[in-house]
Amino acid sequence: MTITAFLQKMRSRSLYDRGRLLGRWYWRVKTNLFYRCFFARMGRNCLIENPMTLNRPERIYLGDDVTVQPGVRLEVVRSNPQRNARIEIGSNVNIEQGVHMLCQNFIKIGDRVSICAYSCVVDIDHPYAAVDDPRRIGDRHSDDGATVVIGENSFIGFGATILPGAQIGKHVVVGARSVVSGVIPDYSVAVGAPARVVRRYDFSSQSWKRATQ
């Protein structure tokens, strides 16, 4: 948006909306002049707005038109120096407020994915079996190389949890507060904890049908 177009838009809005537009403009400028310097890759027209935590952004790759809303945590941890830990986020992806994404191996988010507010996407477990380990359980990290993949055009509902090893196909809807740890096939709807597939798209009838158990 040009400065002239921005000023015209401001004149047509209420005082409250002007404040919101100015705030958003500030974060867009900061995204391009500041955050862009630290990410491994950042495509065109990205917006990172008031994040809570960005840890090791040099290991995070963003496509075009990625929106990261307030309070998001994007974290890559180096629990094993031998691994090329990274987060790859495709184009036209919306990550809503309060989402926590924690990676020690590999998290891949496809194009046109929506991740709703307060969801969690992690590829790390915290082992608890060793009762004589003096470290806090929260400081222990599994070393099994688990990854997470969310396919293109999928929708992760409010407060969902995507656990290590989750492989979510394309055009999948994960219901609110669902917990995914396994494989969810393409063109399906999964709900519950643990999540199970309840609907699949049938291409022969071009309709969504209840999944058979």
Catalytic residues: 126
Name, in order, each residue with C-beta under 8 angstroms of 182's C-beta and a sequence gap of 6 or more: 165, 166, 167, 194
Torsion over CA: 179, 140, 60, 30 (sign): positive
3-state DSSP assignment of residue 4: helix
**Among 67, 146, 75, 61, CA closest to 113:** 67
ω into 194 cis (within 30 of 0): yes
CA pair distance 122, 124, nearest whole angstrom? 6
* Strand, coil or helix: 44: coil
C-alpha atoms less than 13 angstroms from C-alpha of 97 in its C-beta half-sphere: 3
Left if phi > 0, otherwise alpha if psi is -120 to 50, otherwise beta: which for 177? left
Question: Which residues, in sequence order, are CB contacts of 177 under 8 Å at separation 6+?
Answer: 157, 158, 159, 160, 161, 193
- Token reading at 202: 């049938």
